[in-house]
Amino acid sequence: MATEKLSPGMQQYLEIKADYPDAFLLFRMGDFYELFYDDAVNAAQILELTLTSRNKNADNPIPMAGVPYHSVQQYIDNLVDLGHKVAIAEQMEDPKQAKGVVKREVVQVITPGTAVDALDADKENNYLTAVDFDGSVYGFSYIDLTTGEFYVTQLTEFADVVSEAASLQTKEILFGYEATEGQLSELTARLNVLVSHQKTIMDNMEEARLIPSILPLVEKNVSLKLLTYIKETQKRNLSHIQEVKVYEVTDFLKMDYATKKSLELTSNFKTGKKQGTLLWLLDETKTAMGTRMMKSWIDRPLIKKERIEERQKVVQVFLDNFFERVDLVESLKGVYDIERLSSRISFGKATAPDFLQLRNTLSQVPQIKSILEAIADPALDNIIQHLNDIPELRSLLEESIAEDAPRLLTEGGVIKDGYDEKLDEYRQTLREGTAWIAELEARERQNSGINGLRIDYNRKDGYYFHVTNSNLDQVPDYFFRKATLKNSERYGTEELAKIEGKMIEAREKSSIYEYDLFMAIRDRVEAYISQVQALAKTIAGLDCLQALAVVAETYQYVRPNLQVNGDTINIVDGRHAVVEKVLGRQEYVPNNINLSKDVEIQLITGPNMSGKSTYMRQLALTAIMAQLGSYVPAESATLPIFDAIFTRIGASDDLTSGQSTFMVEMMEANNALRLASKNSLILFDELGRGTATYDGMALAQGIIEYIHNNIHAKTLFATHYHELTELDDELNSLENVHVATLEQDGDVTFLHKIENGPADKSYGIHVAKIAGLPKELLARSQEILDKLENQAPSLQNKDGLEDLSQRNIEVAEVVKEESAQLDLFGDFGADSELVKKLSAIDVMNLTPMDAMNLIWELKKMI
């Protein structure tokens, strides 16, 4: 900071900046928003601005960067999108009338969680989340400022906080208590999120009425802290925020973030995009509101059979009434995002085109209602009842807003003719003034004899007669000069001045009066926000249900039979919904999934790439679709209503938190073992492969036995440990299944069909062949495999895992013997780097990931 005495303006800047140390401060100075000191240096780098300095001749010039006021929003959006806060300091008085330094105040702080204008994707929610702690339980609350949705719940563990925040894809988390370093590390390691703090509650906050007094203290406090933060940052009316809704995580099918991620419900595992997800499949909605609701339905499937069946019945009605559904879809295309419009009205940002969209949406409601009434099915009665077109509001907008109203309110033409008598008088004056000017121009052209004489207008000179230098000698005496140009003169007359005065007065007063009229209309519209939000929810739900009908019809889905406390899974010719859409119905191989009340665990064996993981995901997606009210991809389906789904599918290191594949495996397995009930669904794919063979196999068996003896949840467990298949002799509720293969002339075809019994081979060499490994390597590998199978018969021992150590010693001896043979390497000598590399391999302690990396290195060496 400069040591010289600062100017009053810079002192004002530093005083304001002190209150917002964690935000970029955009300081309005005339036509620019300026940034100073570190803000300027950092913003110049992030936004690619020109970095200059204030007091350039001083010993310590102040770094400075600025952006024009008319384009500031794009810079704000960029900063917020990158996870920064931005404080906007505006001039609160006219600089021409200011005595001394112009008064400035921060009028809004925009953060990732409070952004309303900085959203690129209008079909995505933008949640701001708060968490508080009372010493025993966590209060968890979240709000979407763009829609006004407001929720609160209690969570028992911080891991649940992280999981809920991750599921919401929240961009900012507010801590209302002193979080530990471990908690902050866990949160930031898992989520790309901005951490903010709000430990106090604003006194006498009007919005406190949104929080029922009967709430538990921790829920009340976290909600109030969330509202306080919003009030202190947004500094404006929040009338669109809805009364807080209390929810329990047990009201919905429980799935942690890892489960949702591995099943690719709303985000593609590789790309992070919607393409290739369950949302991508089901989202046949026609409105932005419907898309957001469909995502929330997928994130939170139901567990109450009555609510699920309510949705199923409506889907069936739409399937039975094709032509009416087509008409409904066309009507929904005329519906705008009135849910987000409510926040723009509340924030005072709604424009005339916004109101036209609202009016058009309200105009569609009677047509939508008529279509549903024509179907005349009781399943639609609740929807019809809540389709309120708010006739008073619609009439107001129809009478007041002009059809071609511009977005800028200062340009005029916003209010319809006939809405206000005084405004009509101003407009009449302007129209008559135009005619007066045209008449005066024609008369003076005739009087003067100047054929090219015309009346023009600009802001500086007003209305004037334009006369070229060649006609100056014909100018009448009563013309007076207003301005001299190089090739012409500008003149005025008393009559023109009188007309000008009337028109300017009418134009200025008309503009101000029309603006005031629009503000009054906006205030009147604000009174209807809660009704608009209720209508938005009804339309969004209706949109989701018609979308489910479209999907069910397109892909020939069936209505599932759901059982409360059921113990049977019976799916006939089930398909993985998303894979089927990608491949096409003709290419996809369906599978039955049958787990009777006597079978709790299916142990699945078979080679890689054969379809084990698809089979497991197929069951999970089918259950999720069924419980969100959708029909499912099968010929028939009977399912229990699950209370939770736990998965461990796919190997992935959590590098950001320094956790290996095996650690992630064990953490996710532990989560299932602690929280699953007999009504849960567990999917474990290759559990234990992240560690050495002995440990992995022992842990896999231990986990299977624990689930079998203690939890009794329906479980699919895929494994390459063929020794585990012998557990069906010991565990009554476990059965073996495998993926069928066709072996012919040394080639193997994966049939992608699940059949009873264990797999007889792993077909690892065949998979390597498909992957394109060198033929000579594959041939040599087959020789080694044949010797292993012949020389280590005890590998087929049927005594469980008791002889693991002895069997692995035998395997190691075979491998040691084979490693001395160099037939595979042809011209490679015993001293070659390749041979040395192979000789150093500890085969029995290779993880699959190590093996893949090793093969890659060997291939490069060859």
Amino acid found at 523: D
Q: Tell me the HSE value of 689 on the side-chain side, using a 13 A CA sphere.
A: 20
Q: Give the integer Cα–Cα distance in Å for 648 and 668.
A: 6
Q: Pairing relation of β-strands 138-144 and 149-155?
A: antiparallel
693 contacts 668 by C-beta, under 8 angstroms = no
312 Cβ neighbours under 8 A, 6+ residues apart:
559, 629, 631
Binding site, annotated residues for ATP: 606-613
pLDDT of 814 reads 45
Binding site, annotated residues: 606-613
Q: Which residues of 276-310 are buried (b: 16+ CB within 10 A; e: fewer)?
A: bbbbbbbbbbbbbbbbbbbbbbbbbbbbeeeebee
Cα–Cα nearest to 592, from 447, 740, 414: 740
Distances (CA, A) of 716 to 679, 681, 719, 728: 14, 8, 10, 14
Which parts of the chain sit beneath pLDDT 70?
A: 1-4, 56-58, 118-122, 650-661, 688-693, 743-748, 760-767, 770-771, 785, 788-789, 791-831, 843-849
Q: Give the integer Cα–Cα distance in Å for 479 and 693.
A: 105
Cα–Cα nearest to 358, from 228, 524, 220, 484: 524
pLDDT of 860 reads 77
Cα–Cα nearest to 318, from 386, 377, 382, 381: 377
Q: Tokens representing 159?
A: 């891991």
Distances (CA, A) of 758 to 169, 324, 574, 740, 742: 41, 51, 21, 10, 15
pLDDT of 557 reads 97
- For the chain, give me the number of helices (H) and strands (E)? 27, 26
pLDDT of 789 reads 63
pLDDT of 650 reads 62
pLDDT of 667 reads 77
pLDDT of 748 reads 67
642 contacts 676 by C-beta, under 8 angstroms = no
Q: Give the integer Cα–Cα distance in Å for 403 and 425.
A: 20
342 contacts 148 by C-beta, under 8 angstroms = yes
Q: What is the largest CA-CA distance in the chain?
A: 125
| Residue listed under structure tokens 């037939």 | 823
Q: Taking CA 319 as the corner, what is the angle to CA 314 and CA 322, rounded to the nearest 5 degrees? A: 120
574 contacts 638 by C-beta, under 8 angstroms = no
Q: Tokens representing 710?
A: 């203690």
Q: Pairing relation of β-strands 194-197 and 172-175?
A: parallel
Q: Tell me the HSE value of 280 on the side-chain side, using a 13 A CA sphere.
A: 18
User: What confidence tens digit (pLDDT) does each residue in 194-234 have?
Assistant: 999 999 999 989 899 999 989 999 999 999 999 999 999 99
pLDDT of 100 reads 83
User: What confidence tens digit (pLDDT) does each residue in 749-800 have?
Assistant: 777 889 999 876 666 666 677 667 787 887 777 777 677 667 654 444 444 4
Domains identified in the chain and CATH numbers = 8-110 (3.40.1170.10), 127-251 (3.30.420.110), 283-390+528-555 (1.10.1420.10), 421-523 (1.10.1420.10), 561-772 (3.40.50.300), 815-861 (no CATH)
pLDDT of 587 reads 82
Q: Give the integer Cα–Cα distance in Å for 284 and 286.
A: 7
Cα–Cα nearest to 601, from 432, 732, 748: 732
839 Cβ neighbours under 8 A, 6+ residues apart:
819
